[in-house]
């Protein structure tokens, strides 16, 4: 029998095993080359440093070394100046921001002062208006005799106008001269009292229509309801009351119109009388 020829062990290895082994060898070679290159580079740098120091130690190169030191000092000074400039710029930016805030606060303060001045002017105007409505006089400065005279004049004008306005009503309702005279006498006294009260109520608010009509309505309701005659029927009582109130309000409205005309034309002086 023929003996089997010995087969090399390397032939038994697969292609993948051989390729991985070759790549491992390549990596080891690369590492070795890199280490050698770093050693050479370090040697070169060290050599160059030694050569530069040797050159600088020579006497002929001393001025160059001095200039190099001066240049290095100037570079350091320039760096310090640049840092100082940067610090100054930062301080200037903060100061500018603070100035803007102060200006904003000043504008707010100015607006507040303007609002306060406007409010003060409004208060002063209100005080002047109140003083004007009060006649500009205190209680101690009021001429009581003159006020009484003006009140008597207001009562007289109101009584005369109211009585004249009530003449047609009395002539229609009265059954005798005595009844008509009694009714006109009551109207005369009521209108005189209304004139005095109207002067003290309206004072110098001559354009306040609500105040004037309210005073007429109040007097009209009181006088009209007091003159209502008792009736067993509610409808008759209501109709009688409406008629009496309407007549009274009508009479007092005439008196109020006459007094308002006298106030505005200067025939009468509102309360209080101005000196």
Q: What is the SS3 assignment for 88?
A: helix
175-194 tens-digit pLDDT: 888 888 888 888 899 999 99
What pLDDT was estimated at residue 156? 92
Expressed in angstroms, the distance from the first to the final Cα of the chain is 165
Average pLDDT, the chain: 77
More confident residue, 242 or 66: 242
What pLDDT was estimated at residue 33? 63
Total count of residues recorded for the chain? 275
What pLDDT was estimated at residue 173? 80
What pLDDT was estimated at residue 13? 42
Assessment of whether the complete model's pTM goes beyond 0.85:
no
What pLDDT was estimated at residue 225? 80
Distance of CA 122 to CAs 110, 128, 150, Å? Answer: 18, 10, 33
Asked if residue 73 has pLDDT above 90, the reply is: no
Q: For residue 97, is the peptide bond before it cis, meaning its omega torsion is within 30 degrees of 0?
A: no
Closest to 189 (Cα-Cα) out of 163, 222, 220, 218 = 163
User: CA dihedral in degrees (32, 36, 42, 43; nearest 10)?
Assistant: 160
* DSSP-assigned states of every residue in 13-79: S-HHHHHHHHHHHHHHHHHHHHHHHHHHHHHHHHHHHHHHHHHHHSGGGHHHHHHHHHHHHHHHHHH
Which residues, at least 6 apart from 244, have a Cβ–Cβ distance to it below 8 Å?
A: 223, 224, 225, 227, 228
């Amino acid at each position: 029998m023929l003996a089997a020829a010995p087969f090399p062990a390397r032939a038994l290895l697969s292609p993948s095993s051989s390729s991985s082994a070759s790549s491992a060898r390549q990596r080891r070679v690369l590492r070795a080359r890199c280490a050698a290159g770093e050693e050479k580079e370090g040697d070169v740098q060290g050599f160059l440093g030694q050569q530069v120091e040797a050159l600088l130690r020579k006497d002929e190169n001393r001025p160059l070394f001095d200039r190099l030191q001066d240049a290095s000092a100037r570079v350091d000074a320039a760096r310090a100046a640049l840092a100082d400039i940067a610090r100054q710029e930062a301080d200037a930016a903060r100061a500018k921001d603070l100035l803007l805030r102060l200006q904003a606060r000043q504008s707010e303060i100015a607006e507040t002062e303007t609002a306060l001045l406007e409010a003060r002017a409004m208060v002063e105007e209100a005080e002047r208006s109140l003083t004007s409505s009060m006649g500009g006089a205190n209680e101690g400065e009021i001429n009581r005799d003159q006020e009484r005279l003006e009140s008597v004049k207001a009562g007289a004008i109101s009584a005369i106008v109211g009585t004249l306005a009530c003449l047609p009503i009395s002539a229609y309702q009265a059954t005798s001269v005595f009844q008509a005279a009694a009714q006109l006498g009551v109207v005369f006294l009521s209108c005189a009292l209304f004139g005095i009260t109207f002067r003290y109520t309206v004072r110098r608010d001559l354009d306040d229509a609500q105040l004037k009509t309210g005073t007429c309505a109040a007097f009209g309701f009181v006088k009209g309801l007091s003159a209502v005659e008792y009736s067993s029927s509610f409808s008759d009582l209501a109709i009688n009351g409406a008629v009496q109130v309407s007549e009274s309000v009508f009479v007092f409205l005439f008196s109020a119109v006459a007094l308002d005309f006298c106030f505005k034309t200067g025939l009468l002086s509102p309360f209080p009388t101005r000196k």
